[in-house]
Structure formats: C-alpha cells, structure tokens
Structure 1
Amino acid sequence: MSTLLEVSGVSKSFDGFKAINNLSFQIGEPEMRAVIGPNGAGKTTFMDIVTGKTKPDEGTVLFGEKSQSLLKLTESQIAQAGIGRKFQRPTVFEDQSVSDNLMMALKKDRSPWAVLRFRPRREDHASVAKLADEIGLTDQLPRKAGELSHGQKQWLEIGMLLAQDPRLLLVDEPAAGMTPAEREHTTDILVEAAKTRAVVVVEHDMEFVRRLNCKVTVLHEGSVLAEGTLDHVTANEKVIEVYLGR
C-alpha cells in the first residue's frame, strides 16, 4: 500500500498555545484510520491543516504519488486534488430533493457557464442511483433533504462527498447524535468507502471505533501519543492516563 498523505513535523500555535506540536502522520490508499484523543488534542486543527483551512507554522503536508505539497494550495484546490471533508453538522440543501443533492455533488466542470448549461445525462442518473444505494437512501430519493432524520442527513452528506470521488475522506464524529441502528449503518458506509480510498474518522465513541476495526492513532497535545489496534492503544499506560482516565 503506497502512502497517500504524509504529514511531517507539522506545528501550529494559536496565541502561544501549541495546537499541533511536531505532528507526523501517514495514511495509505485504500485504508481506514480512526483518530481519537481528548478535547484539545489537535484533531480538528489537524483536519484544518490537511484541507487548507489553516496553514501550519512549520512542517510539510504531501499528497499523492507525486508528493504534491498541500500547503501551497487553496482550500478549493485541495478539494479538487481529491480530499473531501465531512464536518460534524450535516450541510445539505434542505429544500432540494435527495436526488438533486446528489446530482449537484457529482464531479463535473464547475465553471459558471457549465453549471448553467448542465442537463443530467443517463450516466448521471445512474451515478446518483448507485450513490443512493451505497448510502442506503434509495427509497428517499424524491424526498426533500430537510425532511430526513439526522442520521439520514449525515448519510446524504457522505454520499455527496463520495459523488466527488475523493481519494481521501476526512469524517468528523459521524456517530454523534445517532441511534444505535444508524451508527451501525454509518459504519457499513465508511467501511465500504475505505475499500477504494483512504478514510480518516475522528471519533469519541469507542464502540463506534471498535466496529470500524482499523488502525487507531491517538493524539495528545498536538502529537501522536500511540498508534495501533484499538486494543493495543487502549492498553497503553500513557493513553489510559491522558484519555481513558484511571
């Protein structure tokens, strides 16, 4: 498995507080990775740096076979390079149907003229149907997105990100506010997605992380504290001390 994303020696301070401290992180393609850690461990800042929302004070962030530096790119250029991010709160077009939300998200020419002239073709409808099947919303396609449950909106947003065909998907606390059945379905969607791309899941829910059945990276004070299977990291004395509580 070749390295897709390589973060090396990255640090970032805000008003003297070191949110990220000499962080190094690697993920291959395809791979699933869970990132856990206490509040203030640097999980969100890490995602902000990878997606270009925040520029680090030092270090390198390289992506793809050609080791392209993400630090020279804008947020939209990083998205076009193949990195998708799902925030905690679902952002969907509430007044549009599920079908229209997925159709709008398909990877297309985004120039104003192309958008105005866009007419869905047969393959576009086929892509939407395939995405809806992947996220379990086939029977919801005609419904307005605003009518969906919280969990369904989360799946729709994951579907909209998958429509962009990203090589790396960053997902922030997908299980928050979900029923046990919804959490299980979310696990299935992410595990399936990670068969063809890299997926990084930032999560607090240990049961959810266990079901992902993947390598876990523990962050603490902006650095990697431990890495390995969930059983390996939760048996680590330092992790027990800072995260799980004695």
Structure 2
Amino acid sequence: MNEALLEVNNISVSFDGFKAINKLSFSIFEGELRAVIGPNGAGKTTFMDIVTGKTRPDAGEVIWGEKNFSLLNRSESQIAQLGIGRKFQKPTVFEEQSVYDNLLLALENDRQPLSVLFYRRNQSDDAKIEEIAAEIGLADRLERRAGDLSHGQKQWLEIGMLLAQEPRLLLVDEPAAGMTLEERDKTVALLRRAAKTRAVVVVEHDMDFVRKLDCRVTVLHEGSVLAEGSLDHVTENQDVIDVYLGR
C-alpha cells in the first residue's frame, strides 16, 4: 500500500483518571475496509471521537492525507470538510422529509443563504441522488417520508447522506445493531461497495457481520491495539480469547 490516509500515532486520553486511550497507534489506507472490535470500554468510540475532533487527546498525534495535516488543531466541521464522515449507531435523518430531500440536503453544494433560498431542482443533482439511492438500496423509495422507513433503511439513508458529501474516510459505528438478517447482509454489501472508492472503518460487536465484511480487523483492549490481522488470525490469539471472546 501507499502512504496512510489516516495515521493515529501514540495517542492517549484520560477521563477522571480513567485512561480511555493508551498510546494507541495504527493506520488506515485509501480504499481500505477495516473492522475495529473489542470489549466495552476498549476505546472504540473514543478513538472515533478523537479522529473527528469531538475529543482532544492528552498526548500523541492524528495525521491526515498526503499533506500530513494534523487533525488535533481543527474543529469538527473542519475535519468533516477535509473528507472524514461519521455515522453514529442511532440513525439521524430528517424524518419528516423525503428520502430525496434528505440526500439533497447532504449534497456538497453551495450552502450560502442566497444559494439555498433560490435553489432549483436540477438534472445534475437528480442524477447524483439517483446514483446514491441505487448504491444504498433506496432507489424505489426516493419520494417516501424518511420516518416511514425501517430501522435498517434509515441506517442506509444516513450512510447515503454521508456518501453524498464525498468523504475519503467513512467511520461507521455498529451498523448491524437492530437490523434483520437480510438487512445485515445488504449492509455488508453496501459497506464493501463503499470501500471500493474510499476508506471505511466499521466498529462492530457482531462477529458474524465482521466475518462477512472479510477485511483486516483491529482488536482494541484498554485503549490500545491488542491484535491485528484477519478475523481468523485475531480470534486465534490467546490474549483476544481471554479478554474478549471468552467473556
């Protein structure tokens, strides 16, 4: 692989004396699909909070892109504009708006007040929205109210809204939670497609879901990397069995 898209170097952060992240280091590359697993309290969410600017580490560095930008002196909105999108576990969509309007609001268009006020629907935006809707499996639901979608479909819509912003890195938190088996399989396919054109990091507890992703796995424990490699490799690691799989 080439230079890393994202490098997390020796970061640590404590909350009220509890070390949530402890000298954590690893890299994500362009077009890579990566799963991050570990027991509760391992630091998975805090890692994403640090990358997206929600939490500042006490030590270490987070480096982004070919120009080696530090992310630590940037706001959450600046980090998002650099090309890092994050999907939280609970879907957050505009439930009273249609699927089309949700995707339209997310498109990388001019957000100046006058541009928004005088916006007129156009073929270019229609084409982009139809392409994204097809990618997330909602092409036949563009005119449906987002609040009427199933839980899984809302998850896909939120992923689509992030894709509309054309991120280079997509962070996805426990996408399989609350989904049917069919929805999980469709979500696996969606994330694998997304990783063909951008890096995708998936935090997940469901081992069957992670196995279907068929990607490199990073196991976190007590805020640092415990093991890394294929799912078969890490699940055969005795330390991983002791602290995570054996529970």
Structure 1 residues 129-149: Cα deviation after superposition (integer angstroms, max 9, x where no partner): 000000000111110000000
Cα distance, 1:25 vs structure 2: 1.4
Q: Does 1:82 align with 2:44?
A: no
Cα distance, 1:113 vs structure 2: 2.6
- In the superposition, the TM-score normalised over structure 2's length comes to 0.98
AA aligned opposite 1:31: E
Cα distance, 1:114 vs structure 2: 2.4
Q: Does 1:189 align with 2:221?
A: no
The within-5 A match list for 1:59-78 is 59-78=60-79
The within-5 A match list for 1:176-215 is 176-215=177-216
Distance 1:72 1:203 in 2: 28
Cα distance, 1:118 vs structure 2: 2.2
Cα distance, 1:109 vs structure 2: 2.0
Distance 1:63 1:118 in 2: 33
Distance 2:118 2:166 in 1: 22
Name the structure 1 match of 2:103: 102
Name the structure 2 match of 1:130: 131
Distance 1:35 1:199 in 2: 11
Number of aligned residues: 246
Name the structure 1 match of 2:141: 140
Name the structure 1 match of 2:158: 157
Distance 2:178 2:237 in 1: 29
The within-5 A match list for 1:207-246 is 207-245=208-246
Name the structure 2 match of 1:28: 29
Distance 1:114 1:172 in 2: 33
Distance 1:228 1:114 in 2: 47
Name the structure 1 match of 2:56: 55
Distance 2:26 2:118 in 1: 42
Cα distance, 1:18 vs structure 2: 0.2
Distance 2:143 2:70 in 1: 41
- In the superposition, the TM-score normalised over structure 1's length comes to 0.99
Cα distance, 1:228 vs structure 2: 0.1
Name the structure 2 match of 1:168: 169
Aligned residue for 1:72, secondary structure, equals coil
Distance 1:55 1:113 in 2: 35
Distance 1:113 1:59 in 2: 42
Cα distance, 1:120 vs structure 2: 2.6
Distance 2:75 2:29 in 1: 23
Identity of aligned residues (%): 72
Distance 1:11 1:68 in 2: 19
Cα distance, 1:121 vs structure 2: 1.8
AA aligned opposite 2:6: L
Distance 1:234 1:241 in 2: 10
Cα distance, 1:64 vs structure 2: 0.6
Distance 2:120 2:51 in 1: 34
Q: 5+ unaligned residues in a row in structure 2: which ranges? A: none
Distance 1:130 1:221 in 2: 41
